[in-house]
Amino acid sequence: MKARHWVVVAAVALAGVGAWMSRQAAGESRGGNVFPYAYSVDDLPNGLRLVTVPTDYPNMVALYVVVRAGSRDEVEAGKSGYAHLFEHLMFRGSENFTPQQRDDIMKRAGADTNATTNQDRTTYYAVFSKEDLDEVMKVEADRFQRLKYAEPAFKTESLAVLGEYNKNSAEPTEKLDEALYETAFRRHTYAHTTMGYLQDIQDMPNQYAYSLEFYKRFYTPEYATVLLVGDVTRERAVDVTKKYFGGWARGSYKPDIPAEPPQTEPRTAHVDWPSPTLPWVAVAFKGPAYSDTAWDKAALDLLSPMAFGPNSDLYKRLVLEEQKVDDLGANFGNHPDPELFTVYARVKNVKDLDEVRDRILGTFAQFTRQPVEQSKLDATRSRMRYSFALRMNSSPAIAAALAPYILLTRTPDTINKVFALYQQVTPEDMRAMAGKYFTDNNRTIVTLTPKAGTQ
């Protein structure tokens, strides 16, 4: 009999409408919590959330602002890549700070500042000395509330985005992914990459008005979470967040993201790569969305390294013994909507491509039939916990580890919940979930080979 002990989190009810709503979250360090830091969660009346994680790493503070706007939110045709474009535009000046003034402030602070975008979120960060907290918060808050860029600057920045596309364009896996996602998804916006289609990027300079609309939609407090990690107290964090972000007006936009209908047939696609490369195969199944309460994703998260990681039988055979493949790995991220569980393999000789594909498929099928060994499951649980612990080696590393979870649930607590789920999943759960998701009709396979004669 399996013991499914939930890590019960003391969620203190939110109190006081219209006032600062606070709860000392459940993060008080308790043995066994994979996220061991005490933290606090404070909600502003405008919908902005602040998560503060004081650490003992001295002097430095990491500020992460996670905005729930990613390529998933790009619902209009011809408008792929705008969440990412916005990551760029946010450095183009605000009402009270020109880009030059912002740069000067960050330079004086010796700050490391940048931003990233993926399907679901745009994450802005700055890492700096604690004495610069006030000034950094002031300049950051201005751009979230009062971004201001003229059309010429917008057009110029859209070319920097094209430059980013260009610098990635020599890498075959970028094209492989583009083909994979547009084949697997037909209605949902996961069909296009975060970078977006080249023709949409090339059209960006003509879309100034749309860009203003995009900002209005997503750059509002209910879409954002401020994360302060490092040499900072909750009191100080609340104080500066309230001071600089307190006047941010709540928005009203609700994206209508089309649901992907159930796939009813296996799908394939192929990419002809114009220059020499090694062939690739990607085998993908639509998997479950992130959840810290349902078993589906947790079971497949555990399955991923067991079936396709460096310790898996398939890896041992294809990479180490037969040496037909020089790169093998699975990708199965945490997303708010169902996304892909994908296995990628780079094959050393094109004659082995079909066989490698079939053996990946055979491995998926095997896990739908046979439960994994308990000892291997235990080793995998251990690996996942240590892996998470080893990542958290500085304040920005802790913030970076938290940011994806903040997007999903707006609280670090979900990490302990999902790791508690991992502890409870059984071999039979994993087999059942493999059987549920790894079906022929739920599958997309994409191959990439160099054009004839160039390998």
Partner 1 sequence: MPRRLALVALAAILLQPLTFTQGASVVQPGTSPLIVFRILFTAGSASDPAGQEGLASLTAAMLAEGGSRSRTYQQIVEAMYPMATSVNWQVDKEMTVFTGTTHVENLDRFYALMKDMLLDPGFRQDDFTRVRDDAVNFLKVSLRESNDEELGKEYLYNVIYAGHPYGHHNRGTIPSVQKLTIDDVRGFYRDHFTQANLVVGLAGGYPKGFDAKVESDFAQLPAGSADRKTFAAPAAAAASTLAIVTRDTRSTAISMGFPIDVTRSSPDWPALAVVASYLGQHRSSNSHLYQRLREARGLNYGDYAYVEYFPRGMFQFAPDPNLARQQQIFQIWIRPVEVNTGVFTLRAALYEYDTLVRDGLSREAFEATRQFLTKYSNILTQTQSARLGYALDSRYYRIGDYNTYLRDALAKLSLDEVNRAIRQHLAPNRMRIVVVTKDPKPFQDAVARNTPSPIRYNSPKPKDIMDEDAVIQAYRIDVKPADVTVVPVEKVFQ
Under the binding rule (CB under 8 A), the answer on residue 387 touching partner 1 is yes
Q: How far is the CB of 283 from partner 1 (least distance, A)?
A: 21
Rg of the chain, C-alpha, whole Å: 23
Return the range that interacts with partner 1 (CB under 8 A); candidates 15-23, 162-170, 292-300, 330-338: 162-170
Rounded CA-CA distance 403/408 in Å is: 9
CB 146 within 8 A of CB 189: no
Give the type of residue at 58. Answer: P
Q: Largest Cα–Cα distance of the chain, in whole Å? A: 70
Angle between helices 427-437 and 374-391 (to 10 degrees): 80
| 118 neighbors 181 (Cβ within 8 angstroms) | no
Q: How far apart are CA 139 and CA 97, in angstroms?
A: 7
Nearer to partner 1, 59 or 233 (CB): 59
Identity of the residue, 233 or 311, whose beta carbon is nearer to partner 1 in the bound complex: 311
**Stretch in the footprint of partner 1 (CB under 8 A) among 210-218, 241-249, 306-314, 431-439:** 306-314
Supply the minimum distance, in Å, between the C-beta of residue 68 and partner 1: 24
Show the DSSP H helices in 66-113 as ranges: 82-89, 99-108
User: Is residue 200 part of the contact set for partner 1 (CB under 8 A)?
Assistant: no
CB-nearer residue toward partner 1: 135 or 222: 135
Residue 192 parent element (H or E): none
Single-letter amino acid code for the residue at 406: I
Helices and strands, counts by H and E, the chain:
15, 12
Shortest Cβ 454–partner 1 spacing (Å)? 9
- Give the integer Cα–Cα distance in Å for 387 and 382: 8
Site for partner 1 (CB under 8 A): which residue of 23, 155, 242, 267?
Answer: 155
State how far the Cα of 412 lies from the Cα of 49, in Å rounded to an integer: 12
Angle at alpha carbon of residue 404, lines to 8 and 182, rounded to 5°: 125
55 binds partner 1 (CB under 8 A): yes
Closest CB 248 distance from partner 1, rounded Å: 24
Q: How far is the CB of 237 from partner 1 (least distance, A)?
A: 17
Q: Where are the beta strands (DSSP E) in 187-332?
A: 224-230, 267-273, 280-286, 325-331
**333 interacts with partner 1 by CB under 8 A:** no
The span of 10-18, 44-52, 57-65, 217-225 binding partner 1 (CB under 8 A) equals: 57-65
**String marking each residue 343-362 x if it binds partner 1 according to CB under 8 A:** -----x--------------
Which residue has tokens 């990419």?
A: 271
Binding mask 122-151 for partner 1 (x = CB under 8 A): -----xxx---------------------x
Residue nearer to partner 1 on the CB measure, 293 or 387? 387
User: Could you tell me which stretch among 5-13, 216-224, 383-391, 403-411 binds partner 1 (CB under 8 A)?
Assistant: 383-391
Smallest distance, partner 1 to C-beta of residue 277, A: 5
CA–CA separation, 215 and 193 (whole Å): 20
What is d(CA 38, CA 373) in angstroms, rounded to the nearest whole number? Answer: 35
- Which C-beta is closer to partner 1: that of 174 or that of 354? 174
Binding status of residue 205 toward partner 1 by CB under 8 A:
yes
385 near partner 1 (CB under 8 A): yes
**Candidate ranges 63-71, 158-166, 257-265, 354-362; the one touching partner 1 (CB under 8 A):** 158-166
44 vs 278, which CB is nearer to partner 1?
278
Angle, to 10 degrees, between the axis of helix 353-369 and the axis of helix 427-437? 130
Identify the helix (H) or strand (E) that includes residue 79. none
Does 156 help bind partner 1 (rule: CB under 8 A)?
yes
Task: Candidates 21, 212, 365, 397: give the one binding partner 1 (CB under 8 A).
Answer: 397
